[in-house]
A and B are shown apart, each in its own frame.
Chain A
Amino acid sequence: MSTDDTPEQPGGNGDEDAGKSTGKNVGKNTDENAGKNAGKNAGKSTEPEAEKPEPAGQPPVPEAPVPGPAPEAVTPAEALTGRQRLVKGLWPPRFTRAQLTVALLLCVLGLGLAIQVRTTSDNSALRGARQEDLVRILDELDSRTKRLDDEKRKLESQKAELESSSNQAAEARKQTAQKEDQLGVLAGTVAAEGPGIELTVSDTKGAVEPDKLLDTIQELRAAGAEAIQINDVRVAADTYFSGSAGKVEIDGKKVSQPYKFKVIGKPQDLEPALNIPGGVVQTLEKEQAGVSVSRSEKIVVDALRPAKRPDYARSSSQ
């Protein structure tokens, strides 16, 4: 039904074309038709429409007032010619005005078509979206941005925290290393150098008791000595003196005269501490030992003691 209808309905559409063209048929379209029909007649003889415009301006006039049914009525015969017209219009390319105008318009159409297709396929998601959708998408983006911002802030604070803690850890490591060095100097496990004095006790008569050496050590410590070495024995907290005069043993190791003390500390304190009246130097000289004290800006204490791990005592810090 609708298929039957369609030819008529576009009769309304084609009708505007048809109505106008048939009205003009007499004046203007005739030469077009004539041109076409002439070509048509040359190619194939088509009876009804073809002959009419050809003879003169008169025959189409009675035909003209019937616009609607005209194509319908002539359809069977026209169908053949329609197809031929298509073929004719297609193949021998003629540069008529009609062809050129139509080409121009179709060019514009093709341009618009291509642009539209391109823009649609470019970012179809947003371009085709309706306003509400766009608003929703915008909202989503906003909340997403906010969420990501929050996350970023959190991560940044975490990063700062980690950085500061790693800084702290590095600082702690540094301090620990420093402390280890300091303690190593005290415990005699690392070599030490610095300003200090050299004290040489030459006991050619073997009269110096180990007690006297211990007194000397005490005196030096009291004066602020930080690292002490006698000959090649490092003196530390648990150093002990044994033996007898002339056969002194320090930490169970036999030490022979002359006893050479290397002491790191403030020389201005150490030297007077030894030289005070009734002090170490006088006492030793009374024992008929030769004592000489000399200050030095660089004393190297390089005798080492093995690091001992205490069996029972554990660090209670931490």
Chain B
Amino acid sequence: MIAVLGLIVGVVVGLVVRPVVPTAVEPYLPIAVVAALDAVFGGLRAMLDGIFDDKVFVVSFLSNVVVAALIVFLGDKLGVGAQLSTGVVVVLGIRIFSNAAAIRRHVFRA
């Protein structure tokens, strides 16, 4: 419950305060958000599986974000940023879908 509240608070703050993202970070934000979504879905699934561990969640969340941003950064430096970010998004999307499938299995038993 607190977690859901945290999410809502984050969204509201982001919409109301309109923080300005530094341009250096801007290209990595979408990828980081997708990676974080992946971590969240993984955490939700782990919770439904009964094996949720907050430390694991924190580590996986942060590492997901950092690694995703790093990959995009590297891709930008190598000149394949667009393709690499697409690849990252695809992989993360697949993971999100599979996690969502597991969650669905738990919640709807179907």
Contact = CB atoms under 8 A, between A and B. Distances in A.
Interface of A: 3, 6-7, 9-10, 13-14, 16-18, 20-22, 24-25, 28-29, 32-33, 36, 49, 71, 75, 78-83, 85-86, 89-95, 97-116, 118-120, 130
Interface of B: 1-15, 18-19, 21, 26, 29-30, 32-33, 36-37, 39-40, 42-43, 45-58, 60-61, 82, 95, 97-99, 101-102, 105-107, 109
B107 A113 contact: no
Contact of A102 (B9, B21, B37, B43): B43
B2 A107 contact: no
A107 to B, nearest CB: 4
B23 to A, nearest CB: 11
B40 to A, nearest CB: 6
A21 B14 contact: no
Contacts of B56: 16-17, 20-21
Tell me the dominant secondary structure on chain B's binding face. Answer: helix
Given A82-B107, A110-B14, A114-B11, A28 B53 contact: yes
Contacts of A29: 51, 53
A99 B82 contact: no
Tell me which of A106, A111, A113, A119 has the highest count of chain B C-beta atoms within 10 A of its own C-beta: A106
B20 to A, nearest CB: 9
A113 B48 contact: no
B10 A102 contact: no
B8 to A, nearest CB: 7
Tell me the dominant secondary structure on chain A's binding face. Answer: helix
B83 to A, nearest CB: 11
B42 A14 contact: yes
Nearest to B7: A106
A93 B6 CA distance: 12
A108 B101 contact: no
Contact of A114 (B4, B13, B49): B13
Contact of B53 (A32, A94, A114): A32
Given A20-B53, A22-B51, A109-B33, A119 B26 contact: yes
Contact of A109 (B12, B40, B45, B49): B40
A18 B6 CA distance: 25
Contacts of A94: 1-2
A107 B33 contact: no
A100 B2 CA distance: 7
A141 to B, nearest CB: 21
A230 to B, nearest CB: 94
Nearest to B9: A107
Given A17-B60, A91-B1, A101-B58, A81 B50 contact: yes
B58 to A, nearest CB: 6
B54 A104 contact: no
B21 A104 contact: no
A49 B49 CA distance: 10
Given A18-B51, A36-B50, A99 B3 contact: yes
A10 B5 contact: no
B46 A111 contact: no
A110 B11 contact: yes
B14 to A, nearest CB: 3
Given A14-B42, A75-B105, A91-B1, A115 B19 contact: yes
